[in-house]
Amino acid sequence: MTVIYADLVLGLNLVLDWTLLRMTAKLRGIRPTRTRVIGAALIGTLYAGVLFVPTVPFLLTLGGKVLISICMLMVAFGFHQFGYFFRNLLAFYFSAFVIAGGAIGIQYLLQDATLWAVFQHTASDVVQEKLKFGAALLMIGLCCAYGLYRLSWGQQKQQAQMNSFLVQVEIGIGGQVCSCTGLIDTGNSLKEPLSGAPVMITDVELWQGILPASWLKAVREGDVLNGLNEACSEEEKGVVDEAKLRIIPYRGVNANSQWMIGFKPDYIHITYDQSIYRITQAIIGLDSGKLSADQQFQAIVHPDMVDASLKVEGCASASSEALATKAS
Protein backbone atom coordinates (compact mmCIF):
# COMPACT_ATOMS: atom_id res chain seq x y z
CA MET A 1 0.00 0.00 0.00
CA THR A 2 1.37 3.38 -1.04
CA VAL A 3 1.21 6.15 1.55
CA ILE A 4 1.12 9.77 0.39
CA TYR A 5 1.71 12.54 2.91
CA ALA A 6 -0.51 15.36 1.71
CA ASP A 7 1.17 17.98 3.90
CA LEU A 8 4.57 17.21 2.37
CA VAL A 9 3.20 17.29 -1.17
CA LEU A 10 1.39 20.59 -0.64
CA GLY A 11 4.36 22.13 1.15
CA LEU A 12 6.73 21.08 -1.62
CA ASN A 13 4.37 22.49 -4.25
CA LEU A 14 4.16 25.79 -2.40
CA VAL A 15 7.95 26.13 -2.35
CA LEU A 16 8.25 25.04 -5.99
CA ASP A 17 5.55 27.44 -7.23
CA TRP A 18 7.08 30.29 -5.25
CA THR A 19 10.50 29.50 -6.78
CA LEU A 20 9.04 29.43 -10.31
CA LEU A 21 7.38 32.80 -9.82
CA ARG A 22 10.53 34.35 -8.38
CA MET A 23 12.57 33.02 -11.31
CA THR A 24 10.00 34.45 -13.71
CA ALA A 25 10.17 37.84 -12.00
CA LYS A 26 13.97 37.77 -12.14
CA LEU A 27 14.02 36.92 -15.84
CA ARG A 28 11.53 39.65 -16.65
CA GLY A 29 13.02 42.29 -14.37
CA ILE A 30 9.74 42.64 -12.43
CA ARG A 31 9.48 43.48 -8.74
CA PRO A 32 6.14 42.10 -7.56
CA THR A 33 5.03 42.42 -3.96
CA ARG A 34 5.64 39.47 -1.66
CA THR A 35 1.91 39.18 -0.96
CA ARG A 36 1.05 38.75 -4.64
CA VAL A 37 3.73 36.10 -5.17
CA ILE A 38 2.63 34.11 -2.13
CA GLY A 39 -1.01 34.39 -3.21
CA ALA A 40 -0.16 33.07 -6.67
CA ALA A 41 1.88 30.22 -5.17
CA LEU A 42 -1.09 29.28 -2.99
CA ILE A 43 -3.23 28.93 -6.12
CA GLY A 44 -0.72 26.40 -7.48
CA THR A 45 -0.73 24.61 -4.14
CA LEU A 46 -4.52 24.36 -4.13
CA TYR A 47 -4.31 22.90 -7.61
CA ALA A 48 -1.99 20.19 -6.27
CA GLY A 49 -4.77 19.31 -3.82
CA VAL A 50 -6.96 18.35 -6.79
CA LEU A 51 -4.79 15.25 -7.15
CA PHE A 52 -6.19 13.99 -3.85
CA VAL A 53 -9.80 14.96 -4.61
CA PRO A 54 -10.21 14.66 -8.41
CA THR A 55 -13.69 16.17 -8.54
CA VAL A 56 -12.92 18.38 -11.57
CA PRO A 57 -11.40 16.20 -14.31
CA PHE A 58 -10.78 19.21 -16.56
CA LEU A 59 -8.12 20.55 -14.20
CA LEU A 60 -6.08 17.39 -14.78
CA THR A 61 -5.90 18.00 -18.53
CA LEU A 62 -3.36 20.13 -20.41
CA GLY A 63 -5.90 22.92 -20.75
CA GLY A 64 -6.55 22.89 -17.03
CA LYS A 65 -2.85 23.13 -16.23
CA VAL A 66 -2.41 26.06 -18.61
CA LEU A 67 -5.44 27.77 -17.07
CA ILE A 68 -4.01 27.44 -13.57
CA SER A 69 -0.64 28.83 -14.66
CA ILE A 70 -2.41 31.80 -16.29
CA CYS A 71 -4.30 32.46 -13.05
CA MET A 72 -1.05 32.33 -11.09
CA LEU A 73 0.63 34.85 -13.38
CA MET A 74 -2.39 37.15 -13.31
CA VAL A 75 -2.29 37.24 -9.51
CA ALA A 76 1.50 37.61 -9.27
CA PHE A 77 2.19 40.15 -12.03
CA GLY A 78 -1.15 41.38 -13.38
CA PHE A 79 -2.17 41.52 -17.04
CA HIS A 80 -1.56 45.16 -18.14
CA GLN A 81 -1.42 44.24 -21.85
CA PHE A 82 -1.21 41.08 -23.96
CA GLY A 83 2.46 41.38 -24.94
CA TYR A 84 3.54 41.96 -21.35
CA PHE A 85 1.51 39.00 -20.09
CA PHE A 86 2.61 36.67 -22.92
CA ARG A 87 6.29 37.35 -22.18
CA ASN A 88 5.64 36.56 -18.52
CA LEU A 89 4.00 33.29 -19.57
CA LEU A 90 6.99 32.30 -21.72
CA ALA A 91 9.42 33.10 -18.91
CA PHE A 92 7.30 31.07 -16.47
CA TYR A 93 7.33 27.96 -18.67
CA PHE A 94 11.03 28.37 -19.36
CA SER A 95 11.67 28.37 -15.61
CA ALA A 96 9.52 25.24 -15.26
CA PHE A 97 11.48 23.47 -18.02
CA VAL A 98 14.78 24.40 -16.40
CA ILE A 99 13.77 23.07 -12.97
CA ALA A 100 12.23 19.88 -14.41
CA GLY A 101 15.20 19.24 -16.69
CA GLY A 102 17.64 19.84 -13.86
CA ALA A 103 15.80 17.38 -11.61
CA ILE A 104 15.85 14.68 -14.31
CA GLY A 105 19.53 15.31 -15.00
CA ILE A 106 20.51 15.05 -11.34
CA GLN A 107 18.49 11.87 -10.93
CA TYR A 108 20.17 10.31 -13.96
CA LEU A 109 23.61 11.41 -12.76
CA LEU A 110 23.20 9.89 -9.30
CA GLN A 111 21.54 6.67 -10.44
CA ASP A 112 23.59 3.47 -10.28
CA ALA A 113 24.54 2.22 -13.77
CA THR A 114 23.90 -1.44 -12.79
CA LEU A 115 20.30 -0.58 -11.96
CA TRP A 116 19.77 0.84 -15.45
CA ALA A 117 21.30 -2.30 -16.98
CA VAL A 118 19.00 -4.58 -14.99
CA PHE A 119 16.01 -2.46 -15.95
CA GLN A 120 16.94 -2.62 -19.65
CA HIS A 121 16.99 -6.45 -19.61
CA THR A 122 13.83 -6.89 -17.56
CA ALA A 123 11.62 -4.14 -18.99
CA SER A 124 9.03 -5.16 -21.56
CA ASP A 125 9.01 -3.86 -25.11
CA VAL A 126 6.03 -1.64 -24.28
CA VAL A 127 7.87 0.00 -21.41
CA GLN A 128 10.98 0.54 -23.54
CA GLU A 129 8.89 2.13 -26.29
CA LYS A 130 7.37 4.48 -23.74
CA LEU A 131 10.86 5.37 -22.55
CA LYS A 132 11.94 6.16 -26.12
CA PHE A 133 8.85 8.30 -26.57
CA GLY A 134 9.60 10.06 -23.30
CA ALA A 135 13.18 10.69 -24.40
CA ALA A 136 11.92 12.23 -27.63
CA LEU A 137 9.57 14.48 -25.68
CA LEU A 138 12.46 15.44 -23.43
CA MET A 139 14.57 16.48 -26.42
CA ILE A 140 11.68 18.52 -27.82
CA GLY A 141 11.19 20.10 -24.42
CA LEU A 142 14.88 21.01 -24.22
CA CYS A 143 14.72 22.65 -27.66
CA CYS A 144 11.64 24.61 -26.60
CA ALA A 145 13.34 25.58 -23.35
CA TYR A 146 16.37 26.86 -25.27
CA GLY A 147 14.11 28.95 -27.51
CA LEU A 148 12.29 30.34 -24.50
CA TYR A 149 15.63 31.06 -22.86
CA ARG A 150 16.82 33.09 -25.85
CA LEU A 151 13.55 35.01 -25.90
CA SER A 152 13.50 35.59 -22.15
CA TRP A 153 17.16 36.61 -22.10
CA GLY A 154 16.51 39.14 -24.85
CA GLN A 155 13.60 40.55 -22.88
CA GLN A 156 15.73 40.70 -19.75
CA LYS A 157 18.45 42.63 -21.58
CA GLN A 158 15.88 45.11 -22.86
CA GLN A 159 14.47 45.48 -19.36
CA ALA A 160 17.96 46.01 -17.91
CA GLN A 161 18.69 48.69 -20.51
CA MET A 162 15.44 50.47 -19.71
CA ASN A 163 16.11 50.26 -15.95
CA SER A 164 19.40 52.09 -16.50
CA PHE A 165 17.41 55.10 -17.73
CA LEU A 166 14.85 55.14 -14.92
CA VAL A 167 15.07 58.11 -12.53
CA GLN A 168 13.23 59.37 -9.48
CA VAL A 169 11.42 62.66 -10.06
CA GLU A 170 10.04 65.21 -7.59
CA ILE A 171 8.05 68.14 -8.95
CA GLY A 172 7.16 71.11 -6.76
CA ILE A 173 4.24 73.36 -7.67
CA GLY A 174 2.18 75.71 -5.51
CA GLY A 175 3.42 74.25 -2.23
CA GLN A 176 2.63 70.69 -3.34
CA VAL A 177 5.03 67.90 -4.29
CA CYS A 178 4.39 65.17 -6.84
CA SER A 179 6.80 62.21 -6.87
CA CYS A 180 7.04 59.59 -9.58
CA THR A 181 9.41 57.43 -11.62
CA GLY A 182 10.61 58.86 -14.92
CA LEU A 183 12.26 57.43 -18.02
CA ILE A 184 14.99 59.43 -19.76
CA ASP A 185 14.07 59.41 -23.45
CA THR A 186 16.98 60.53 -25.63
CA GLY A 187 14.55 60.87 -28.52
CA ASN A 188 12.41 63.39 -26.68
CA SER A 189 13.17 66.78 -28.22
CA LEU A 190 9.95 68.53 -27.21
CA LYS A 191 10.45 72.12 -26.02
CA GLU A 192 8.20 75.08 -25.42
CA PRO A 193 8.48 77.32 -28.50
CA LEU A 194 8.54 80.67 -26.66
CA SER A 195 11.06 79.98 -23.90
CA GLY A 196 12.86 76.95 -25.34
CA ALA A 197 12.40 75.17 -22.01
CA PRO A 198 12.51 71.35 -22.18
CA VAL A 199 9.22 69.53 -21.63
CA MET A 200 8.75 66.56 -19.29
CA ILE A 201 5.63 64.57 -20.19
CA THR A 202 3.68 63.03 -17.29
CA ASP A 203 0.55 60.95 -16.78
CA VAL A 204 -2.39 63.24 -16.13
CA GLU A 205 -3.57 61.04 -13.24
CA LEU A 206 -0.55 62.14 -11.20
CA TRP A 207 -2.06 65.59 -10.82
CA GLN A 208 -5.46 64.69 -9.45
CA GLY A 209 -6.22 67.10 -6.61
CA ILE A 210 -3.29 69.39 -7.47
CA LEU A 211 -4.17 70.90 -10.84
CA PRO A 212 -7.56 72.48 -11.59
CA ALA A 213 -10.15 69.85 -12.48
CA SER A 214 -10.97 71.67 -15.74
CA TRP A 215 -7.40 71.20 -16.96
CA LEU A 216 -7.49 67.48 -16.24
CA LYS A 217 -10.89 67.14 -17.90
CA ALA A 218 -9.65 68.89 -21.05
CA VAL A 219 -6.67 66.52 -21.25
CA ARG A 220 -8.76 63.38 -20.75
CA GLU A 221 -11.31 64.44 -23.37
CA GLY A 222 -8.58 65.31 -25.87
CA ASP A 223 -10.14 68.69 -26.72
CA VAL A 224 -7.53 71.00 -25.25
CA LEU A 225 -8.47 74.39 -26.72
CA ASN A 226 -12.24 74.11 -26.34
CA GLY A 227 -11.89 72.57 -22.90
CA LEU A 228 -9.72 75.43 -21.68
CA ASN A 229 -12.03 78.05 -23.20
CA GLU A 230 -14.91 76.62 -21.19
CA ALA A 231 -12.73 76.45 -18.09
CA CYS A 232 -11.71 80.10 -18.38
CA SER A 233 -15.37 81.14 -18.39
CA GLU A 234 -15.91 79.47 -15.04
CA GLU A 235 -14.70 80.54 -11.62
CA GLU A 236 -12.26 77.90 -10.44
CA LYS A 237 -9.51 78.14 -7.90
CA GLY A 238 -6.89 75.54 -7.31
CA VAL A 239 -3.34 75.06 -6.14
CA VAL A 240 -2.04 76.21 -9.55
CA ASP A 241 -3.21 79.49 -11.08
CA GLU A 242 -3.62 80.25 -14.78
CA ALA A 243 -0.32 82.15 -14.91
CA LYS A 244 1.44 78.78 -14.79
CA LEU A 245 -0.57 77.39 -17.71
CA ARG A 246 1.21 76.64 -20.99
CA ILE A 247 -0.14 75.37 -24.33
CA ILE A 248 2.50 73.34 -26.16
CA PRO A 249 2.23 72.51 -29.88
CA TYR A 250 3.62 69.18 -31.05
CA ARG A 251 3.31 66.71 -33.89
CA GLY A 252 1.63 63.38 -33.22
CA VAL A 253 2.33 59.99 -34.79
CA ASN A 254 0.23 60.90 -37.83
CA ALA A 255 2.30 64.10 -38.30
CA ASN A 256 -0.72 66.30 -37.54
CA SER A 257 -0.26 69.33 -35.31
CA GLN A 258 -1.74 68.85 -31.86
CA TRP A 259 -1.83 70.71 -28.56
CA MET A 260 -0.71 69.65 -25.12
CA ILE A 261 -1.62 71.27 -21.82
CA GLY A 262 1.38 72.03 -19.66
CA PHE A 263 2.44 74.18 -16.75
CA LYS A 264 5.59 75.71 -15.33
CA PRO A 265 6.58 74.07 -12.02
CA ASP A 266 8.42 75.81 -9.22
CA TYR A 267 11.24 73.28 -9.45
CA ILE A 268 12.08 69.72 -10.49
CA HIS A 269 14.48 67.41 -8.66
CA ILE A 270 15.76 64.37 -10.55
CA THR A 271 17.77 61.63 -8.84
CA TYR A 272 19.82 59.72 -11.40
CA ASP A 273 22.97 57.63 -11.04
CA GLN A 274 23.45 58.72 -7.41
CA SER A 275 23.35 62.39 -8.43
CA ILE A 276 20.68 65.05 -7.97
CA TYR A 277 19.72 67.50 -10.70
CA ARG A 278 17.79 70.67 -10.01
CA ILE A 279 15.76 72.21 -12.83
CA THR A 280 13.84 75.47 -12.56
CA GLN A 281 13.39 76.31 -16.24
CA ALA A 282 11.20 73.51 -17.55
CA ILE A 283 7.63 72.70 -18.51
CA ILE A 284 5.50 69.75 -17.38
CA GLY A 285 3.24 68.37 -20.13
CA LEU A 286 0.13 66.30 -19.44
CA ASP A 287 -0.63 63.09 -21.35
CA SER A 288 -4.10 61.57 -21.31
CA GLY A 289 -3.00 57.94 -21.57
CA LYS A 290 -0.61 55.72 -19.64
CA LEU A 291 2.99 56.26 -20.66
CA SER A 292 3.88 52.77 -19.42
CA ALA A 293 1.39 49.92 -19.69
CA ASP A 294 2.87 48.19 -16.63
CA GLN A 295 3.35 51.47 -14.73
CA GLN A 296 7.13 51.18 -14.51
CA PHE A 297 7.33 54.92 -15.11
CA GLN A 298 4.87 57.80 -15.14
CA ALA A 299 7.00 60.50 -16.77
CA ILE A 300 9.16 60.90 -19.86
CA VAL A 301 12.20 63.00 -18.98
CA HIS A 302 13.83 65.31 -21.50
CA PRO A 303 17.58 64.50 -21.80
CA ASP A 304 18.49 68.17 -21.25
CA MET A 305 17.16 67.84 -17.70
CA VAL A 306 20.08 65.60 -16.69
CA ASP A 307 22.76 67.84 -18.13
CA ALA A 308 25.94 67.99 -16.05
CA SER A 309 25.50 71.75 -15.51
CA LEU A 310 22.29 71.08 -13.54
CA LYS A 311 23.92 68.69 -11.08
CA VAL A 312 24.04 69.85 -7.47
CA GLU A 313 26.31 68.67 -4.68
CA GLY A 314 23.65 68.65 -1.98
CA CYS A 315 19.94 69.28 -2.10
CA ALA A 316 17.32 69.72 0.57
CA SER A 317 14.35 67.45 0.37
CA ALA A 318 11.63 68.52 -2.02
CA SER A 319 9.06 68.21 0.71
CA SER A 320 10.84 70.75 2.90
CA GLU A 321 11.21 73.16 -0.01
CA ALA A 322 7.56 72.77 -0.90
CA LEU A 323 6.48 73.58 2.63
CA ALA A 324 8.74 76.63 2.68
CA THR A 325 7.30 77.80 -0.63
CA LYS A 326 3.77 77.34 0.66
CA ALA A 327 4.53 79.22 3.87
CA SER A 328 5.94 82.17 1.95
Active site members: 185
Strand ranges (DSSP E) for the chain?
A: 166-173, 176-184, 199-203, 245-251, 257-263, 267-272, 275-279, 283-287, 299-301, 311-312
Q: How far, in Å, CA of 70 to CA of 73, rounded?
A: 5
Kind and range of the H or E run holding 101: helix 82-110
- The full DSSP string for 217-262 is HHHHHT-HHHHHHHHHTS----SS-GGGEEEEEEE-TTS-EEEEEE
Please, are residues 286 and 219 in contact by the beta-carbon 8 Å criterion? yes
Please, are residues 268 and 282 in contact by the beta-carbon 8 Å criterion? yes
User: What residues have CB less than 8 Å from 15, skipping those under 6 apart?
Assistant: none
